[in-house]
Amino acid sequence: MRRRFEVSCALLLLLLLLGGCRLRRPDGVLPPKKMEAVLYDYHLAQAVVMELPREERYTRDAYMDWCFAKNGITREDFDNSLVWYTRYPKELAEIYRRLGERLDKEYDKASRSLQQMEKNSTFLVSSGDSVDLWYLNRVNILNTSVYMKRLTFSFPSDTTFHVSDTLVWSIAHTFVSPFDSVPQSAYLELSIYYNDSVSATDTLLLGSGRTILTLTTDSLIPMTRISGSVNYMDPSDNRSSMLLLSDVSLLRYHRKEVLSTAAPAELGADDGSGGGDVE
């Protein structure tokens, strides 16, 4: 009986010692799972900044602030937590091990998505008189996040493009906001690039509806690239506000169809919201 009591006391003492050796985080230091999530967004934001043109690097702080705001912390919370974790390399190494596994999964997922996109975009080489060139999602949501405030596309021309082709970019747009008094707008731009010049048309969206931009290529100079963008603008910087883009299409008409079929009626549906060509 006494022997059993001594063994029980020894086990209890061992458990107390092991419990006393457990690493305790001070108040204000992010737990490992939270720190992992913040570091993921932090490194993602840094990667985006490094890809920006040099003249736009000044926006670095905005990307970092987005990272902290998304995770509900302050820059000070992050700095203090990072200092603490660097004092315990094993804890930090474990976080980065899990982070590496997550990045590998995200990379594989992105690679598969890119392959699917390339597979779906094979219709760009179609030689028909009218072709829908749009290869991105037909429905898009934009908000004030630095990663979601802009929709862009760009692709090179090929042998299926002819001089005097007409492009028709059509978008249905709906502004959504819990604050009716906050003005929302978006800037649309469609451009055709040549070797030494650019032709473009643009417009400003100030309400919900449908907008059509039309642009005709030069009749003498072959084009090299087509690009366009939608930039969402909301001075309130409220994440509850957003711009919904739907039923997006980018039609290319060869000249003979524009002149001889019902295409002109569709081109005339711009309702005055699209801009004119500019050199």
CA gap 199, 215 in Å, rounded: 8
| Chain position carrying tokens 């493009």 | 161
pLDDT of residue 57: 61
pLDDT at 67: 84
User: Which are the contacts of 194, defined by CB distance < 8 A and separation ≥ 6?
Assistant: 218, 221, 222, 223, 224
pTM over 0.75: no
- What pLDDT score was predicted for residue 228? 94
> Can you tell me the distance from the alpha carbon of 136 to that of 184, in angstroms, rounded to the nearest whole number?
24
pLDDT for residue 218: 77
Q: List the pLDDT tens digit at each of the 279 positions of the chain.
A: 545 544 444 444 444 444 444 568 888 899 999 999 998 888 877 777 766 666 666 667 777 888 888 889 999 999 999 889 888 888 888 888 888 888 777 767 766 665 665 555 443 434 456 888 888 888 887 877 766 788 899 888 877 888 888 999 999 988 877 666 567 889 999 999 998 889 999 999 988 889 999 999 876 788 888 999 999 987 766 656 778 888 899 999 887 544 444 343 344 434 434 443 333
At residue 198, the pLDDT reads 92
Query: Considering all CA atoms of the chain, what is the largest pairwise distance in Å, rounded to the nearest integer?
Result: 106
What is the DSSP code (8-state) at residue 30? Answer: P
Phi, psi of 18 (to 5 degrees): -65, -40
* CB 228 within 8 Å of CB 133: no
Q: Are 212 and 269 in contact (CB under 8 A)?
A: yes
Question: What is the 8-class DSSP label of residue 228?
Answer: E
Phi first, then psi, for residue 222 (nearest 5°) are: -65, 140
C-alpha to C-alpha distance for 252 and 169, rounded to whole angstroms = 9
Tell me, letter by letter, the H, E, C secondary structure of 196-224.
Answer: CCEEEEEEEECCCEEEEEEEECCCCCCCC
3-class state of residue 106 by DSSP: helix
Cβ-Cβ contacts under 8 Å for 182 (sequence gap 6 or more): 234, 235, 236, 238, 241
Q: Would you give the DSSP letter of residue 28?
A: T
How far apart (Å, rounded) are the C-alpha atoms in residues 234 and 101? 36
